[in-house]
Amino acid sequence: MDFALNEQQLAFQDSARDFASSRLAPFAAEWDLEETFPLATIREAGDMGFLGLYTPESHGGLGLSRLDSAIVFEELATGCTSTAAYLTIHNMVSWMIASFGSATLAGEWVPRMVSGEVLGSYCLTEPGAGSDAASLKTRAEKKGEVYVLNGSKMFISGAGSTDVLVVMARTGGPGPKGVSAFVVPANAPGVQYGKKEKKMGWNSQPTRAITFDNVEIPAGNLLGEEGMGFAYAMKGLDGGRINIATCAVGTAQAALNAAQRYVQERQQFGQPLADFQTVQFRLADMLTELVAARQMVRLAAFKLDSGSSDASAYCAMAKRFATDLSFNVANNALQLFGGYGYLKDFPLERHVRDARVHQILEGTNEVMRMIIARQLLKD
């Protein structure tokens, strides 16, 4: 067992760190304030390979392992949590189309997704089906050579600015076995977008509801087989949860870095804050828990890479642990900045707002506990 990163991993980490510090961090506050989806920068990320990190090489991706991808995503998140998180969703969508779509369907979309020419959204959640995703109601009726989609999705990241949607819809009876997954061009007639949601964080990416009103798509846009869509959606989310956990770790690292510098500069009671032992202990706990979270994320990624039967539970553990930790670290870092932490002149309040949603999306942390407990009680 070797805990050191190899040369290739260090090289990926360096290039992601450079991109984060030069192309993301300087603009993150402005994108947050102006609610800008930075399309030009996202396309630059494509030039770096960051839009198809674990997409197979046969489809133009880098074909990296989940572990290597996690190293990259973590660095990107230190620059801009929200933009890095969108990149992870795009990667998940591109991987799903490459993995479960026919050669023709994958050939049509995936290389363009990897280059950044087209961007993707993942559409599972509905107004009435959030945690209980298998109760979704959007229907896809097969009529000859087409499927006709009707229904609505809620909280779709990137929606309105993306080009391709992976949509989970019901082709059969109730429950998970009745769900199929489809590739839907985002501008297909009958696809309608709701208003851009006003959010607490994740402001550099739009979030919208989508309605499907008699949307016709070719039968060949079905991913894999009918009735397998829920399993494909969950497989996508296993990796997605590692990705969100890495964004959480990256955000925590950025917050800790800022706090570490600040407490050495800021003087009160005639000495730097860093000289107070309570401050030191707080920093020590932040770092200890951050390292634990990072190692758990990498272990989960390793389990997914090696096809371990308990990989899903480890992905859930990593997501639950890293996102809770990240929120606490960001909040503690804000506290160390005192009143300045509450001002938008400093990045701490943004880190807290961005970190918060990771405890909710890609499965709430209560759902993560459900997945972990099911595995535990099955063993």
- 199: contact with ligand FAD by CB under 6 A: yes
The reply on whether position 115 binds ligand FAD by CB under 6 A is: no
Beta bridge partners of 183: 166
Site for ligand 2MC in 85-124 (CB under 6 A): 89, 122, 124
Binding pattern for the stretch 233-272 against ligand 2MC, x by CB under 6 A and - elsewhere: -xx-xx----------------------------------
371 binds ligand 2MC (CB under 6 A): yes
Name the strand (E) or helix (H) holding 181.
Answer: strand 179-185
Catalytic residue among 141, 349, 362, 366: 362
CA distance 15 to 22: 11
Least gap, CB of 126 to ligand FAD (angstroms): 8
- Of 203-232, binders to ligand FAD (CB under 6 A) are 207
Q: Which does 312 bind (CB under 5 to 8 A by kind): ligand FAD, ligand 2MC, none?
A: ligand 2MC
Contacts 24+ apart (CB under 8 A), 124-129: 124/153, 124/168, 124/233, 125/153, 125/154, 125/155, 125/156, 126/151, 126/152, 126/153, 126/154, 127/152, 127/154, 127/209
126 binding ligand 2MC? (CB under 6 A): no
CA distance 68 to 47: 18
Closer to ligand 2MC by Cβ: residue 24 or 371: 371
Using CB positions, name the residue nearest to ligand FAD: 130
Structural tokens at position 356 = 């918060």
Least distance (Å) from ligand FAD to the CB of residue 155?
3
Calculate helix-pair angle for 365-378, 311-336, nearest 10 degrees: 140
Distance CA 369, CA 372 (A): 5
Applying CB under 6 A, among 65, 135, 308, 364 the residue interacting with ligand FAD is 364
Q: 19: Cβ–Cβ under 8 A, 6 or more apart, which residues? A: 44, 45, 48, 50, 75, 76, 79
- In the residue annotation, 362 being an active-site residue is answered as yes
The token duo for 193 is: 């977008």
- What phi, psi does 149 have (nearest 5°)? -100, 135
Query: Which residue's CB is nearer to ligand 2MC, number 89 or number 222?
Result: 89
Pick from 124, 191, 215, 317 the residue near ligand FAD by CB under 6 A: 124
Which of 96, 149, 367, 372 is close enough to bind ligand 2MC by CB under 6 A? 367
Please check whether residue 248 is in contact with residue 323, taking contact to mean a CB–CB distance below 8 angstroms.
yes
* Residues at the interface with ligand 2MC (CB under 6 A): 89, 122, 124-125, 131, 133-134, 157, 176, 230-231, 234-235, 237-238, 312, 361-363, 367, 370-371
